[in-house]
Structure 1
Amino acid sequence: MEAEARFSVSLKNPEAVAAIVSALRHVHGDDIARLMLVEGMSLANLLEAMFSAPLTHREAVRAITDGLDDFVITPDLGLMWHLKYVYGDEPGSLHVMDMEIATPDGTLASRDVWLRLAS
């Protein structure tokens, strides 16, 4: 009888990653979600999936911000970077529409940031 291979991944924010995985599975199905997690996706793709999932907007934003530590981010951001929220057009809006990453070298749009789950 052949031994079953088991992999263990230590996550910094398992609840946030679970919410992200659930949202990706809900929006794209199991196979595509797995591919996106392993091969990568843009931050814009993740935002779109999270905002389409059955989560409140606030829960989606929280899961993304908390879960980023468990993803490999490309391009390499170095040690100093900051997540910036892009809010809706209404004056005083706190409705997050997009995210950007500010670095000492400039700001990256969500479509220019690639994420894959760290293994």
Structure 2
Amino acid sequence: MMASEARFAVALKNPDAVAAIVTALRHVYGDEIARLMLVEGMSLADLIDAMFSAPLTHREAVRDITDGLDDFVISPDLGLMWHLRYVYSDEPGSLHVVDMEIATPNGTLASRDVWLRLPS
């Protein structure tokens, strides 16, 4: 492997979920913007919006986001203990996820306050 190729070799924990995220970002924003978002970062809210706008079922989008989070660098640093919390539709008894937030021992972060990028 050449040196320039080596920097792109990253072992992913959930490659299928990351592939679905990349495909959704490319579908919604195009190649260049998607690449910029993956390298420079995006909010969890932006990722959620893109995944819900992509040609995936809602359930697949939620699963891919949840599974793919382990492969992203998350800012601010959440520490070792954190929990992804789903925000559901206002309809009584609804299991339709409309947003996500991250709960930590120090408080809860809204999706717009969480920044994600792929490791370099």
| Residue 5 of structure 1 pairs with residue 16 of structure 2 | no
Cα deviation, 1:35-57, whole Å, max 9, x if unaligned, reads: 00000000000000000000000
- What is the percentage of aligned positions where both structures have the same residue? 83
The aligned amino acid for 1:69 is D
The aligned amino acid for 2:68 is G
Equivalent residue, structure 2, for 1:60? 61
The aligned amino acid for 2:108 is T
Q: Distance in 2 between matches of 1:69 and 1:42?
A: 15
Q: Distance in 2 between matches of 1:92 and 1:84?
A: 17
Q: State TM-score, norm by structure 2.
A: 0.95
Q: Distance in 2 between matches of 1:37 and 1:59?
A: 20
Q: State TM-score, norm by structure 1.
A: 0.96
Equivalent residue, structure 1, for 2:77? 76
Q: CA deviation at 1:9?
A: 1.2
Alignment of 1:12-27 (within 5 A): 12-27=13-28
| Residue 93 of structure 1 pairs with residue 94 of structure 2 | yes
Alignment of 1:26-41 (within 5 A): 26-41=27-42
Please list every run of 5 or more consecutive structure 1 residues that lacks an aligned counterpart in the other structure: none
Question: CA RMSD of the aligned region, Å?
Answer: 1.0
Q: Distance in 1 between matches of 2:47 and 2:95?
A: 20
